[in-house]
Structure 1
Amino acid sequence: MFTGLIEEVGHVASIEKRPDAIRLSIQADRVLEDAAIGDSIAVNGACVTVTGRLEDAFSADIMPETIRATTLHSLQAGDSVNLERAVKAGGRLGGHFVTGHIDGTGKIVRIVPKGNAYYLDIQASPDILAGLVQKGSVAVDGTSLTVFHAGPQFFTLSLIPHTYAHTVLGSKKVGDSVNIEGDILQKYVQNQLTAGKSDDSGSLTYDMLKENGFNTSLNK
Structure 2
Amino acid sequence: MFTGIVQGVASIADMTDKTGLRTLTLAFPPHFTTGLEIGASVAVDGVCLTVTALHGDHAAEFDVMQQSLNITTLGSYQLNHRVNVERAARDGAEIGGHPLSGHIDFTAQVAQIRELENNYVIRIAVPPEWLKYIFAKGYIAINGASLTIAEVNKQESWFEVWLIPETLRMTVFADKKAGASLNIEIERSTQVIVDTVQTVLEERLGPLMPALEALLAQQSQSVKDLIA
User: Where on the TM-score scale, by shorter chain, does this alignment land: which range?
Assistant: 0.7 to 0.9
**How much has 1:186 moved relative to structure 2?**
0.8
CA distance in 1, matches of 2:34, 2:207: 53
Alignment equivalent of 1:86, drawn from 82, 88, 101: 88
CA distance in 2, matches of 1:199, 1:54: 57
* Paired position in structure 1 for 2:217: none
* Paired position in structure 1 for 2:205: 200
Alignment equivalent of 1:188, drawn from 176, 192, 210: 192
Tell me the TM-score normalized by structure 1: 0.87
* Paired position in structure 2 for 1:218: none
Correspondence list, 1:1-220, <5 A: 1-28=1-28, 29-55=30-56, 56-152=58-154, 153-195=157-199, 197-198=202-203, 200-201=205-206
CA distance in 1, matches of 2:110, 2:85: 21
- The amino acid that maps onto 1:101 is H
Percent identity between the two aligned chains: 33
Q: Which moved more, 1:12-21 or 1:89-98?
A: 12-21
- The amino acid that maps onto 1:171 is D
Structure 1 residues 195 and 30, CA gap change in structure 2 (3 angstroms): farther
CA distance in 2, matches of 1:6, 1:164: 11
Deviation readout 1:175-217 (Å, 9 max, x if unpaired):
11110111011112122223363483499xxxxxxxxxxxxxx
Q: Point out where structure 2 has 5 or more consecutive residues left out of the alignment.
A: 209-228
CA distance in 2, matches of 1:202, 1:114: 52
Asked if the contact 2:2/2:89 (under 8 Å) is kept, the reply is: yes
CA distance in 1, matches of 2:191, 2:164: 27
Q: Point out where structure 1 has 5 or more consecutive residues left out of the alignment.
A: 204-220
Deviation readout 1:89-136 (Å, 9 max, x if unpaired):
101010011110001111101000122101100112123222110000
CA distance in 1, matches of 2:206, 2:177: 45
* Paired position in structure 2 for 1:216: none
Tell me the TM-score normalized by structure 2: 0.84
CA distance in 2, matches of 1:30, 1:87: 16
**How much has 1:149 moved relative to structure 2?**
0.8
